[in-house]
Structures are given as structure tokens and as C-alpha cells.
Amino acid sequence: MSTTPDLIVVSDLHIGLGKNPETGRYYELEAFFYDDDFRSFCVHLCERAQAEARPFRLLLNGDTFDLLRIDKVPTTAGATMRERRFGPAMTPEIATAMMAQIVAGHPVFLDALAHVLACGYEVIFLPGNHDLEIQWPSVEAEIRNAILQRITLHHGEQRRDEVAGKLQFRPWFYHEPGRVWIEHGCQYDPENAFRYLLRTNIESEQELAGTEVDQPLGNFFQRYLYNAFGHITFIVPSTRANLRYFKWLVVHQPNLLLRVVASHARFWWQVVRRVTRAKGSTKRKLQKAHNTKLHELADSSGLGQRLHAIDALKTVRGDISQTVRSLGWQALRVLGAATLVGLLTLGLWFAGFHLIGQLRGGFFVKAALFLLLDFLFLLLAMGGIAYALLRSAAGPANRPLRRAARKIAEYLRVPLVVFGHTHDEILWKLSPRGGGASWYFNTGTWIAVFTHDVLIPRDRVQYTFLHIHGHEAELRHWSPGRGADLPVVLLDEHDA
């Protein structure tokens, strides 16, 4: 039997509340409908591992659960208007209650993980920006107990006790020296990075209030805006999709867009007030908790200052205060551009109007020219609106992650760096300083999302994962119909 286990990396399942037992239908914001497919995938992994005598570890690389895109948690009678509309601020108690609902709504998914553990293989959870709360001991315990109960149900209490140690939770990353570095990757996305990612040691109410202050731009929009659009909202990992959301809503759901904008008007003022009242002492407590855990991990992992260097790669430009500034700056840019274009258009129209008025000709000739001028400007306006609505979003969003992957490969001298988060399957050869061959992989997702504009032969839901064998890796996807995993189709692009 091989001494080095294979690694199977799955990311971004975004599991929500599942089915509502009172209606028999899925909750409105559920995105994961593939429990049976995931179970068949796990059974396949175990059968292949046993047939080939190749053990494996199953790594769930962040955003396995979704504590952001979730139906509102019931509030108490004394709840504020904000809590009634958006749910209470996240605490270990609230997060544990939400996680209890999630695992109760997906027993088949738990059975899949229980099967992997019962067969003697490891399951490792890493946090993402949508389920960062699994760092909290009470939330971890809720997940752990739910999975172990399924082992007891199907395999007996003795087997549960034998394999319980194979279920692990890591607070940030998975690293094998000289082989691989795996983490969710949100820290390198400017719109989804936390200043203080490590929150295991956060306990006091004041520190918990600070977690709301240290909320990235992407999380902020998901919880306080996108969820309001209901089931039509697609999960995207970054606010680069703001424009795509807006375009789609303008064309297909303009009334819903107006209703949401109107219903959220009061909230935006609350955000401004909250930012102006943010206390430095709260942030200092978050920073202290993060740094304490960071030092512990640096020592226990043997990475030392290299881990501090990796932590410094985070692109923390997206907390709430900078969200307001960023949105304000974008609004000013749009307003300035619109004013400039409007003045230029008006000037050209008056110039054309004046020129036609100076021409020698009869009334009907000038009237026809005036109509032609107006028609041309109408066509230009329609063309401008169509271009604004239909043009592609600028700039691939995975470049910051790619740059971070190259730096990590340099710091650690690993041939494989693996992220999730972007929901795009990525294979990219890195060129770290100092030489050596390194590759950056992104595992994609199992759910339906907005995709980029390149047409490739793929299903809407791809069931992608990364299979690492030794020091080699391959992106593959699970095919429930064939009962097999197949290579992911990736094409060379001009701007990959």
C-alpha cells in the first residue's frame, strides 16, 4: 500500500438549509441540490482506493457550508429593524444554530462523509469566506457530532470511536512540505479578504461585534444585498459580478431591482453610521486574536516567518469602511462620466442644430435634416446603452490569486498550490523565482454560477475536484451518469 495518501480536493459546495420540512420544498436560497451525486462520488472514491490499495484524504476546501447566503434566522420580539430584515449579527451561538439547521437539511451529504470515514480515510475541513465560522469550537462540534452520528447509525458506535480521529478541522490551510499548499484563497481576492482571518480565540461580545466590522466587500454584498433578490441570485465569489447582476436584473427583473433598492435605502444610512462609529479598540482585539493564533500556527507547522509572509500577502482593501469609500468613488466616477458624455452630446447636438439652421434650403429640407440628426443621436444613445449592458466585465478576477500562488510557491518550494473561491477551474504554470516547476490549480465548484464568456464544452454544473497523486495533480469532474470521474475540459485562451 502507498504510504503517501492521494489528496482529493473539493471546494465551494455552498450547502444551505436544504428542504423545508413544513413544505417539502427547498428553502429559497439553497444552492446545493447534489447530495446523492456527492454520496455516489464518495462511494466511488472509496471503492477505487480499496481496489488500488491507494489511501486518500478528502479535503473540503472552504465554503462547504454557506452561512451568508441563507434564509433569515428567526429573531426575538426585541430585535432591531436591521436584525429583522437581515438576521442577527453572527456569534458562535447563532452560527451553531444555523449550522444545526444546515446539517439537518442534508443527511445524505453527511452520509457521504461518514462513508469515507468508516472506510478508514480522512476528511479534512478548511474554512472559506462563507463559512469562516467553522473555526469556532461550537460550530465545529456541531458538524463533527452530526457526521459521527451518521457513522453510528450506519456502522455502529464502535466504528465511530475507531475513526473519529480521522475527521479534522484546520483553521486556515493544509500544507505538506515539498508537496502541496492548499487553502480557500479568499485572502488574495481584494473584495473578499479578511484583515483578521483567524478567529478561534474570539470570545467577548465586543470582539464578536468587530467581526462584523471586518467583513469583506463580497461578504457584505452577499448578505445585505444579493440575498434580497431571492432564488434568482447566483452565487459569485466576488463583487466583480455587480455589473452582471445589474445588467441581468435591468433586462429581466426591473421591478424587483427597484423594490430591493427602495427597501435597502434605510440600511445604507445605517452602514455609514456604523462605519463612522467603528472603534479602534475593537479592531485591536481582533488583531490580537488573529496574531496569537498566527504565532501558534507558525510554531506548530514549522513554517515560522514564512507563514507570516504568506499572511502578509492578503489583499485587505474590502472591509466595510473601504466598501463605502469604494462605492462612493465608483458613483462619482459614473456620475462624472455621465455628465461629461451628456455635455459633449448636448454640445454636438446644438452644433448640428446650428449648422442645419445656417444651411440654405426650404423648410422641408431643414425639417428632414433635423429629424435625421435626432434619429442619429437616438441610435447613438441606444448603442451606448446596449454596449454598457452587454459588454463583458473587464479584467479576469483570478490574477491576484495567481500572483499569490506564485509567491507561496517561492516561499515554500512546493510544486502545487491549490485554491478554490473563484468557482473557475484553473490550471496555470507558475514561474517562481529561484526556478523549479510549480503549478497553480483552482478546483472550481459543484453548483451553477455565472461563468465567463468563453464557450467551452461543459455542463452547467461540473462537479469538479482536484486529484493529487504523489507530486502530480489533475483537475477532474464526477459524472453521476457514467459513475466515473473524467478529465476537466480546459482550453488555451488569449487571456487565460
- pLDDT tens sequence for the chain (496 residues): 457 999 999 999 999 999 888 888 899 889 899 999 999 999 999 999 999 999 999 999 999 999 988 776 655 666 666 666 666 677 888 899 999 999 999 999 999 999 999 999 999 999 999 999 999 999 999 999 999 999 999 999 999 999 999 999 999 999 999 999 999 999 998 888 999 999 887 766 556 655 677 778 778 777 777 777 776 555 555 545 555 566 666 766 777 777 766 766 666 665 565 555 556 677 788 888 899 999 999 999 999 999 999 999 998 864 555 555 555 666 676 677 778 877 887 888 788 777 877 777 777 777 888 788 778 877 887 777 666 655 554 444 568 899 999 999 999 999 999 999 988 889 999 987 777 789 999 999 998 765 444 434 445 567 999 999 999 999 999 999 899 999 998 877 655 5
The answer to whether residues 257 and 232 touch, using CB atoms and an 8 Å cutoff, is no
**Cell 470521474 -> residue:** 485
Query: Taking phi first (over 0 means left), then psi (-120 to 50 degrees means alpha), and beta for anything else, what does residue 284 get?
Result: alpha
pLDDT for res 433? 78
The answer to whether residues 268 and 228 touch, using CB atoms and an 8 Å cutoff, is no
Please check whether residue 1 lies inside any domain of the structure.
Answer: no
Same domain? 350 vs 471: no
**Cell 480522512 -> residue:** 122
Same domain? 340 vs 439: no
The answer to whether residues 406 and 412 touch, using CB atoms and an 8 Å cutoff, is no
Same domain? 59 vs 132: yes
Same domain? 357 vs 448: no
Please check whether residue 53 lies inside any domain of the structure.
Answer: yes
Residues sharing a CB contact under 8 Å with residue 436, sequence separation 6 or more, in sequence order: 409, 413, 415
pLDDT for res 275? 55
Please check whether residue 299 lies inside any domain of the structure.
Answer: yes
Please check whether residue 493 lies inside any domain of the structure.
Answer: no
Task: Give the end of a domain, one of 390, 407, 422.
Answer: 390
Same domain? 93 vs 231: yes
Question: 10 Å Cβ neighbour count for 487?
Answer: 10
Residues sharing a CB contact under 8 Å with residue 304, sequence separation 6 or more, in sequence order: 298
Domain that holds residue 49: 6-323+397-487
Same domain? 219 vs 352: no
Same domain? 191 vs 143: yes
The three-state (H, E, C) secondary structure of 45-82, written as one string: HHHHHHHHCCCEEEEEECCCECCCCCCCCCCCCCCCHH
Largest interatomic CA distance in the chain: 101
325 vs 314: CA distance, rounded Å: 20
Task: From 58, 59, 274, 343, select the one nearest 184 (Cα to Cα).
Answer: 59
65 vs 451: CA distance, rounded Å: 21
Same domain? 450 vs 339: no
pLDDT for res 232? 58
Amino acid at position 179, single letter:
R
Task: Give the end of a domain, one of 390, 410, 431.
Answer: 390
Q: Which three cell numbers stand for residue 483?
A: 459513475
The answer to whether residues 67 and 13 touch, using CB atoms and an 8 Å cutoff, is no
Please check whether residue 135 lies inside any domain of the structure.
Answer: yes
305 vs 282: CA distance, rounded Å: 26
Same domain? 224 vs 346: no
pLDDT for res 453? 43
pLDDT for res 161? 94
The answer to whether residues 11 and 421 touch, using CB atoms and an 8 Å cutoff, is yes
pLDDT for res 273? 55
Please give the tally of structural domains in the chain. 2
DSSP string, 352-396: HHHHHHHS---HHHHHHHHHHHHHHHHHHHHHHHHHHHHSPPSS-
Question: 10 Å Cβ neighbour count for 31?
Answer: 23
Residues sharing a CB contact under 8 Å with residue 38, sequence separation 6 or more, in sequence order: 13, 108, 109, 112, 446
Residues sharing a CB contact under 8 Å with residue 210, sequence separation 6 or more, in sequence order: 202, 282, 283, 285, 286
The answer to whether residues 187 and 307 touch, using CB atoms and an 8 Å cutoff, is no
Same domain? 407 vs 481: yes
Q: How many CA atoms lie within 13 A of 361 on its CB side?
A: 13
Amino acid at position 309, single letter:
A
Please check whether residue 197 lies inside any domain of the structure.
Answer: yes
Same domain? 376 vs 228: no
Asked whether the CA dihedral 42, 46, 52, 54 is positive or negative, the reply is positive
Please check whether residue 496 lies inside any domain of the structure.
Answer: no
pLDDT for res 380? 81
Q: Which three cell numbers stand for residue 245?
A: 447582476
The answer to whether residues 318 and 216 touch, using CB atoms and an 8 Å cutoff, is yes
Question: 10 Å Cβ neighbour count for 398?
Answer: 24
**Cell 452587454 -> residue:** 390
Task: Give the end of a domain, one of 339, 361, 390.
Answer: 390
Please check whether residue 98 lies inside any domain of the structure.
Answer: yes
Same domain? 271 vs 217: yes
